[in-house]
A and B are shown apart, each in its own frame.
Chain A
Amino acid sequence: GAVVSQHPSWVICKSGTSVKIECRSLDFQATTMFWYRQFPKQSLMLMATSNEGSKATYEQGVEKDKFLINHASLTLSTLTVTSAHPEDSSFYICSARDGRAGLNQPQHFGDGTRLSIL
């Protein structure tokens, strides 16, 4: 089945550090990738949608200068949390959509990245 690899799985950093999270589709071309964030006991919240070769579309309330998204190839999207602060500590999950799949086909999720900012 389709596999999405997300790296790193766990990050602990000092406040002010920038953190890059990678999301790779291993056996399919992901024309669209999605970045979600989940706080404890809360639902997954879509942060942004990225299409290969174009700028990401951010959801309301998500700062595009704070969360930089790059989707330079059909198999890789990155999310960079710039100058991270403790309130950015969360579980970040990417998902990818196979470009050949119909709309009714599900997205494939990465394993998630647990980010802790001290």
Chain B
Amino acid sequence: RKEVEQDPGPFNVPEGATVAFNCTYSNSASQSFFWYRQDCRKEPKLLMSVYSSGNEDGRFTAQLNRASQYISLLIRDSKLSDSATYLCVPRSGYALNFGKGTSLLVTP
């Protein structure tokens, strides 16, 4: 079983739309969680940390359900610049566990 599973997409949405990504992780010992975005042929960039109580950063809202080992990311009012691959990243020890991510394409 893969450590991190995400729908690879691509998700094609119009500007202004709301889009949600889901992620499941297999390692119940994972201690913290992050969402990264990765643009084509670039390094991953931290989007936000994910806390148990859920957290919001501008147009982005992240939720964590430890019991179900499930993480979500909601993007409101999508911008063209949001087009990227979104990576759900649980951490166990010092190691970050990357999946293939979910591709998002926001169109005009």
Contacts and interface: CB of A to CB of B under 8 A. Distances in A.
Whether chains A and B associate is yes
Interface of A: 32, 34, 36, 41-46, 49, 91, 93, 95, 97, 103-104, 106-107, 109-112, 114
User: Closest 6 CB pairs between A and B?
Assistant: A44-B98, A109-B43, A112-B43, A43-B100, A43-B98, A104-B32
A104 B41 contact: no
Interface residues of B, number: 20
Nearest to A4: B43
Contacts of B18: none
Contact of B44 (A42, A97, A109): A109
A40 B89 CA distance: 19
A42 B41 CA distance: 12
Contacts of B67: none
A82 to B, nearest CB: 24
Interface string B24-52: 00000001101000000111111001000
